[in-house]
Structure 1
């Protein structure tokens, strides 16, 4: 069954990027991408991506040759043009309107919400987010882009160490349906 997973990293005080969108605080950490809750194992289970425009533009700026290896949706109100050869869709639609297409494109694998705490929150608000996997770095930033800028109830499933990072996997707890 396809799950929608917010897989990300955060500072100890809950920010995924600095106020100027830098990830230097994270990229300097010792981690093993093949280790517990590492990227290598995670990405093998991913069939489609969802990302916000800020994340997309940051990745393209820091790696101009980057193209998603999986079908990807970029949620934006900006007028952006996909690079040639990319299976990339820009949308201003509500996540609930495109989620079924993302699940279909994932072909039995998971959908990854890449960066963007607000985007992950939008999926959660609509009952579409199933899991949060977060690597916690031993640094505080004091300000920046928050991990999740709204209340989301979670249940801890697993905690491991990967190099400098404490990694946790949570399932999203949905409120009970009215009787």
Structure 2
């Protein structure tokens, strides 16, 4: 079995934060978007076989059900989802598995769940960095909003070298696709 692509598809502020200090995303939800751009969500999601996220991201999704997912009983994803947490959490759907430990310990199970699709590392920055440190993060696909927060949850915890592969624009967002070269010495 070949290893599926591991992709970190996300949005950040111009100063590199995924969320504010209270896990808020008001800065993101107030930005205009259009379909058909370089990082078009529907096109990206069609490639996804499994999702991976941390507890904070999982909780945010549960606490903020999106209007476009109103018919999903509170869980917007129809793909196998792995939530990394050290807490005892209830799965929001049959497709959700709560796991603990390092990504390395679960890589075969995640790869099997992804099948022929990619693994989407939804967030946060600490979890994405864990995947990158063990060589399980291939690309960072990021939409950069014209907003600064001054503090918050960083895109990646730690230093990494990236190679720009492609860039574009979606309304006010700069979109970029990077290959993960490796951790900085």
Q: Classify the TM-score, shorter chain.
A: over 0.9
Q: Deviations over 1:81-122 (max 9, x none)?
A: 113x42111011210111121111111110000020000000
Match of 2:148 among 114, 136, 140: 140
SS at match of 1:173: strand
- Match in the other structure for 2:8: 6
- Match in the other structure for 1:34: 36
Is 2:138 the counterpart of 1:130? yes
Q: Distance in 1 between matches of 2:138 and 2:166?
A: 15
What do you get for the CA RMSD once the two structures are aligned?
A: 1.3
Is 2:26 the counterpart of 1:24? yes
TM-score, length basis structure 2: 0.90
**8 Å CA contact 2:38, 2:167 repeated in 1:** no
Match of 2:97 among 73, 89, 93: 89
Q: Distance in 1 between matches of 2:156 and 2:102?
A: 18
Q: Distance in 2 between matches of 1:174 and 1:17?
A: 24
- Match in the other structure for 2:83: 74
TM-score, length basis structure 1: 0.93
Q: Distance in 1 between matches of 2:36 and 2:96?
A: 27
Q: Distance in 1 between matches of 2:17 and 2:90?
A: 29
Match of 1:52 among 40, 51, 54: 54
Q: Deviations over 1:9-32 (max 9, x none)?
A: 000000000011110101111112
**8 Å CA contact 1:67, 1:86 repeated in 2:** no
Unaligned 5+ residue runs, structure 1? none
Match of 1:156 among 148, 159, 164: 164
